[in-house]
A and B are shown apart, each in its own frame.
Chain A
Amino acid sequence: MSQTLRPPRNYRRGLRETIVEGLRYSGGVGQRSWLIHRITGLGVLAFLVIHIIDTFFVVAYPALYDHTVAIYGGVVSGLGAPFDGYYWPLRWLFRVAELGLIACVLFHSVNGVRVVLFDFWPRAVSIQKQIYTTVIVIFWAVMIPVTIWVLLPLLGPPAHAMPKVGLDAPAPILGLADISRLG
């Protein structure tokens, strides 16, 4: 009989196998939490890189730091007359991203404690489903009030102190009209 299968060393995974098999761990609860742990970890790392660079501005260039955090609050400056101003979609975008960051750090923390628990107390594996449920309960018990607290300010005008809106300041082209309150 002739051998029809190629030897394993000649087998190369295609794109689909690379993705599907690359995300596979052992299936079930373990696989799901492992995948979320990995994705949230990479997400937090990506933010950490940005956050170290923007915080470096406090030493290098204070005005650039204030300019940057103002963008996080939806206020654009330095581009010139027609573009400077407050953009509410920008503020909303950064608020939702902020919430996503909090969710990533929170899940990675609580699930990380679960991983460490199994490493130093292997017997806990016998109740691993209950422990995973506890992780999910803690996550949502913290995340629901935090979501309300972080998103609620979006209903009001921005708290970010802005340059006084007057004859010498460019008028905002988008967003809430009554920001003069902040002036």
Chain B
Amino acid sequence: MSTRAAQFGGRKVRPAGGFELTAWFFMRISGLLLVFLALGHLFITHILNNVESINYAFVASRWAHPKHGYIWRLWDLTMICLAVIHGFNGLRQVLDEYVVHPGRRVIAHTLIWSACIFLLGLGSYAILQFKADQEYIDKWKAEHHVASATAPIETGASVLAGD
């Protein structure tokens, strides 16, 4: 390993084993999956749509879609699990380089994994327990004097056309 590290300019190499090796593989596999999941998510929400057209009705049109609502939920659930663990493990690796005192490291790791589990719970609950509140959407439409509360995802072309 040392010769390999020297050969490649001191670059960090694969850990020998144990938890760190599992984490090493997880970071790479989840990272490659997130390239498609996260960039696809950004393309839908920031390019086809934008922060000004996204609202409760938009979320409902995806997650509560009668035909392919489950696909969006599956996408978002996979993305949230991979991204949260990837992100907090990355934060742990960064902090491990600065927090070297064993006691402080225990505190840092406890905080990181607690936050990780809390956010996973919050996100999974929202995705799995979501039920479209049609009464609220109708009330919103009436208050805002619009015929359609949102441009559903399948009419992304009309958003592109500036409709």
Contacts and interface: CB of A to CB of B under 8 A. Distances in A.
Interface of A: 18, 22, 26, 30, 38, 41-42, 44-45, 48-49, 52-53, 55-56, 58-59, 62-63, 65-66, 69-70, 72-73, 94-95, 98, 101-102, 105-106, 109, 112-113, 115-116, 118-120, 122, 125, 146, 149-150, 153, 158-164, 183
Contacts of B9: 26, 30, 125
A125 B8 contact: yes
B84 interface: yes
Nearest to A150: B46
B11 interface: yes
Nearest to B141: A161
B119 A102 contact: no
Contact of A164 (B8, B47, B144): B144
Given A52-B123, A66-B140, A119-B28, A58 B59 contact: yes
Given A113-B32, A125-B11, A158-B52, 11 more contacts: A26-B10, A38-B94, A41-B90, A45-B87, A48-B83, A58-B63, A116-B31, A119-B28, A125-B9, A159-B52, A162-B144
A56 B52 contact: no
B53 A98 contact: no
Contacts of B47: 146, 149-150
Nearest to B54: A69
Contacts of A48: 83-84, 87, 119
Contact of B122 (A42, A53, A125, A161): A53
B51 A112 contact: no
Given A56-B125, A56-B126, A98 B136 contact: no
B101 interface: no
A81 B91 CA distance: 43
Interface stretch (B34-42, B67-75, B103-111): B34-42
Contacts of B52: 72-73, 153, 158-160
Contact of B91 (A42, A73, A102, A164): A42
